[in-house]
Amino acid sequence: MGLTLNVPAGEVFGLLGHNGAGKTTTVNLLTTLLEPSSGDATINGHSVTADAAGVRRSIGYLPENVQFYDDLTLLENLRFFARLSGLRRPDARIRDVLSFLDFEGHDNQKIGMFSKGMRQRVGIAQAVLHEPAVLFLDEPTSGLDPEGVRTLRETIVRLNREFGMTVFMNTHLLSEVTKTCTSIGILNHGALVHHDSLANTLAAFPAEDSLEDIYFRLDVTSPS
Amino acid sequence: MTTLLTSARHEVLCILRAGVALLLLAVFLCMVSLSSVIGWITNTTVTRVYEKVLTDGLTTAPNPFTAVSPLYYARNSVIYVVLIGALLAIVLGVQSTLRDRKSTTSDLVLSRPVNTISRLAGTLVGLGVVIAAVLLLSTVISWGSISIIVGAPLGPDPSLRLAVFAALSWALMMIFALLGMLTGLHSRKETTALLVPFVVWSAVTFVLPQIGANARPVALLNPVPALITTGTNSFDLVGAITGPFAITEQFKRAAGIALQDESLTGSPTASIVLLGAFLMAMTWIVLATSRRQLRSGLNE
Amino acid sequence: MSDTWTVAGKELLDLRRDRLFAILIAFLAVATLISVAVASADFRNQQGAYNLYVANLVKSGTSIAPAAPQLFPLKLLRGGIEYLEILGALFAIVLGYETIAKEKHRGTLALVLSRPLGRFSFAGGKMLGLSIAWLGVVSALTVVSLLAVVTIGQAPIRGSDVARLLVSSGFAWLYLVFWTALTVGLTALSTRLSTGLILALIIWLAFVLIIPQIGDTMDPDNQVPGGLFATLRIKKPDELAVLAQFSAFDGIRNGLEVSSVTKHFERLTFAFLGIKDQYNQQPLGLVWVAMLPYSITLTAATFASVVFAALATTRRTLQRTHS
């Protein structure tokens, strides 16, 4: 199945779908972690097939269940990723980002000691260090407690509003989508069955109480 | 260039933080330090044995240890490089590439503007720096302890020979580090990643010399080569085929000649060329690893 | 007890389907075959050289010929025993590590530990299963060795040779169980799985390779190619008399060697197989008497290692272990 999708700059886009619908594969293709067997995609003006390096310079990526080098400290981890993103002297930028995330005072602690919520904040930090135009988040709330979910949601919204970052988010938590996303797409068996702004989507189904009901109305079913 | 340097620096930092690798490193340095002392104690005792035999009138043969080189005391180090050095290099090599696959940090790395060759070359440079630092330290220790044993600082010639020995050791250890990197990149399980290079190491160190030169496995751990009956026949033929692949034996030969081991004669050139060829071939194989392989997950 | 058997049965089932295990055992078998082939080829070389020498003597008119080289079939197994010493121990470590690591990696540990198992059922079952597996492996290697000696070595085997080989196989089993149990205990105690494996490998390096190597290189007779005393043309009784005066040095050297369990295994098997000349063709009873201390120490070391594994592998240690 082919996928045709256009996410305008400045959106917080939520890609929804059941397990195995192809959400992670889509993100892997868009972040150039996978090469497409056919077709193409353009991120911030760069083609994933012809200019993968340009795409990588434009994006930040937070994978599901992000992990780090546990024996290294927070600062050492972030310095490494910042330098790989091309920042020569990254310390000042790291401090700014940690301050933005309200995550100061842990610089010299080894990441191996961090909780899931703390790791997720480090995950966001490493993804935005180099001020990417587009931020890809794969199931960012997976495994977080309610407080962690709320903090992450607020961070995503701030990154979008304060820095104009375009956010592309994979999720199957429909309640989070209504609070975070400006537009949504629904993927089913590798095909996009719905794509519109959140407001239009909710308006198009006045009879349904929630996004969850709309989701099932669109006949998105898991493969049996 | 940024990727290469950043990866090299990162590798050094990760090795320094990994307690177990440091433990193995300490074992290596400790054994190299002990090597001179063991050589000295043994040499002193054997000289006393010879003197006793001579005064008892049991022999008229000349003392086989007359005028041995001061580097005689470092000859056990050759074996320690083959045993501990190679295994240390394997462990470091495996962990260097398996680390990203195991914790899936490879996705964080590869979603950045990172060239895979630069990334792997950087890791390799990091490993090379650590191994060079270890060998530099062990050479300084050897130089110091031998100078103390012989009662005078080693002259330029033996010092240079120790440096050549260190360079050869670096080449051998890097070959095994590259082997470790390779299995760290391709194995589906951590156990396999560690075990496969260990098995290859044991096959190269013990099995190949046995097939090619009729050398018993345990005898290969003695720096003094055993007298081997090969003769006219099958061993010479098989030895000619397996010999180039028995790189630990090639290393032992080149290092022995560098350390003025009198039981070894001839030129070390062929052995050095072989070590260099293996090093380059392994480097090429590792650097040619695909991006997809770098981010392949483990099956555990 | 039934819990223990259940865990043991599952362990054996896993091993039967484990390709890595099959490859390791095949590697050991091939190495043994190669060593027998090399040793028998070497013997034939010696025999050829002897025949040539005798023919030359006859041609020159001399009728007194030196004794012909004699083939002692079990001596052909020396290389195989040395492979077991080094590689067998290495593979035993891998097996010990895998038994804990696989439960952790596939997440089945929590399922097992949530059952009403006895304090030692898990560790006991694992060790029982692995010990049975090693028994199978050692039996197979014994058969391979025997066949190799008869076919590749073309050596006649007597009943007493089989008995000697079986006794040696028993010690090989104890030696392999020792390393497996040690690694099970170390892996269970380590908070990170790979630390357990690497620690076991460091111990293997020290006790299988380094300590015996130091002992070997400190041997005065190992200082010159061909042997110091042979080079100086000194007869055996004189050699012993001279060495008796350096007993302190030899004591240290021997002390180093016997601190390694590998040397105990080596001395036992070399004595029973007659690889060590001193025990070659000696009655089995006499070898038993001479080797009793080593058989006690190897058995005690294995027992201690199994006890260590049982005590170290608890619910608490297993649950804090992570990959």
Give the type of residue at B22. Answer: L
Q: Going by C-beta distance under 8 Å and a sequence separation of 6 or more, which residues neighbour residue C46?
A: B229, C69
For the segment A3-8, the average pLDDT, to the nearest whole number, is 89
Give the per-residue pLDDT at B70. 79
Determine whether A4 is exposed, middle or buried from the number of CB atoms within 10 Å of its CB (0-12, 13-18, 19+).
exposed
- Residue B18 has its nearest CB partner, among A61, A71, A83, at A71
Q: Do C213 and B83 touch (CB under 8 A)?
A: yes
Flag whether pLDDT at A153 surpasses 70. Answer: yes
pLDDT at B11: 93
pLDDT category at B234 given cuts 50, 70, 90 is low
In chain A, the DSSP E strands lie at 12-16, 42-43, 46-47, 59-62, 134-138, 166-171, 183-188, 191-197
**For residue A68, which residues of chain B lie inside 8 Å, CB to CB?**
103, 105, 108
C222–B contact, CB cutoff 8 A? yes
Using an 8 Å CB-CB cutoff, list residues of chain B that contact chain A: 2-3, 6-7, 10, 13-14, 17-18, 99, 103-105, 107-114, 292, 295
- Confidence tier at A224 by pLDDT (50, 70, 90): very low
Strand partners, A185: A15, A195
> Higher pLDDT residue, C186 or B215?
C186
Cβ within 8 Å, pair B192-C234:
no
Tokens 């190495």, residue located: C31
Percent of chain B with pLDDT over 90: 38
- Mean per-residue pLDDT, B259-288: 89
Structure tokens at C10: 């599952």
Of residues C27 and B118, more confidently modeled: B118
Is B17 in Cβ contact with A71 (below 8 Å)?
yes
Do B2 and A56 make contact, defined as CB atoms within 8 angstroms? Answer: no
Query: What is chain C's mean pLDDT, rounded?
Result: 84
Lowest mean pLDDT, pick from A102-111, C11-20, C33-42, C186-195:
C33-42
Task: Find the mean pLDDT for residues A46-57.
Answer: 92
* Burial class (CB within 10 angstroms; exposed 0-12, middle 13-18, buried 19+) of C114: exposed
At C169, is the pLDDT very low, low, confident or very high (cuts 50, 70, 90)?
A: very high
Give the closest residue to B21 by CA, choosing from C225, C221, A71. Answer: A71
Q: Considering only residues A108 and C248, tell me which one the structure prediction assigns the higher pLDDT.
A: A108
Name the more confident of B257 and C217: B257
Average pLDDT value for residue range C276-286:
84
Nearest to C264 by CA among C308, C208, C304, C218: C208
B170 CB contacts (<8 Å, ≥6 apart)? B128, B131, B132, B135
Categorize the per-residue pLDDT at A65 as very low, low, confident or very high, splitting at 50, 70 and 90. confident
A84 lies within 8 A of chain B by CB = yes
Q: Which residue among B2, B105, B295 places its CB closest to the CB of A67?
A: B105
SS3 C275: coil
Residue C155 has pLDDT above 80, yes or no: no
- Domains of chain B, residue spans: 2-295
pLDDT > 70? residue B124: yes
pLDDT at res. C147: 85
ipTM above 0.90, yes or no: no
* Range of lowest pLDDT (B143-147, B164-168, B282-286, C101-105): C101-105
Say if CB B137 and CB B179 are below 8 A apart. Answer: no
Note whether B114 contacts A57, CB cutoff 8 Å.
no
B116 forms beta bridges with none
Confidence class for position A173, pLDDT limits 50, 70, 90: confident
**Confidence category of residue C161, pLDDT binned at 50, 70, 90:** confident
Per the structure, how many domains does chain C have?
A: 1
Q: Which of residues 168-197 of B touch C (CB under 8 A)?
A: 189-192, 194-195
Min distance B144 CA to chain C CA atoms (Å): 21
- pLDDT-wise least confident of B95-99, C29-33, C68-72: C68-72
Q: Return the residue matching tokens 């509003």.
A: A161
| Whole-number average pLDDT of chain B | 84
**Do residues B8 and A89 lie in contact, with contact meaning Cβ atoms separated by under 8 Å?**
no
Q: Which of A218-222, B78-82, C169-173, C205-209 has the lowest mean pLDDT?
A: A218-222
In the B/C pair of chains, how many CB contacts fall below 8 A?
Answer: 178
Q: Helices marked H in C60-158 — which ranges?
A: 78-83, 89-105, 109-113, 121-151
Quickly count: other Cβ atoms within 10 Å of residue A126's Cβ. Answer: 26
Task: Quickly state the pLDDT bin for C132 (edges 50, 70, 90).
Answer: very high
Residues of chain C in contact with residue B214, where contact means CB-CB under 8 angstroms, are 38, 41-42
Which of 7-46 (B) contact C at CB < 8 A?
A: 19-20, 23-24, 27, 31, 34, 38, 41-43, 45-46
Cβ atoms of C268 and C172 closer than 8 Å = no
Q: What is the pLDDT of residues B39-86, one digit of tens each?
A: 777 777 777 777 777 787 777 777 766 667 778 778 788 888 998 899
Question: Cα separation of C273 and C271, whole Å?
Answer: 6
What is the mean predicted confidence (pLDDT) over A14-40? 89
pLDDT tens-digit map of C193-223: 878 888 898 899 888 888 888 887 777 777 6
Q: Which of C90, C183, C232, C321 to mutate to test the interface with B (most CBs of B within 10 A)?
A: C232
User: Which has more confidence, B69 or C65?
Assistant: B69
Contact C217 B224 (CB under 8 A): yes
| pLDDT per position as a tens digit, A86-125 | 888 899 999 999 999 989 899 999 998 898 889 999 999 9
Nearest to B216 among C45, C78, C223 (CB): C78
User: Which whole-number Å values give the CA distances from A143 to A110, A119, A166, A173, B118, in the listed order?
Assistant: 21, 11, 24, 12, 34
What range does the domain containing C135 cover?
2-320
- Give me the sheet containing A134-138, strands edge to edge: A59-62, A134-138, A166-171, A12-16, A183-188, A191-197
Average pLDDT of the segment spanning C263-271 = 92
Lowest mean pLDDT among A97-101, B228-232, C41-45: B228-232
Read off the pLDDT of each residue in C92-115 and give the average, rounded to a whole number: 83
Q: How far is A133 from chain B (nearest CA, A)?
A: 13
Q: Choose among C98, C195, C210: nearest Cβ to B31.
A: C210
Q: What is the pLDDT of residue C321?
A: 63
Q: Do C42 and B229 touch (CB under 8 A)?
A: yes
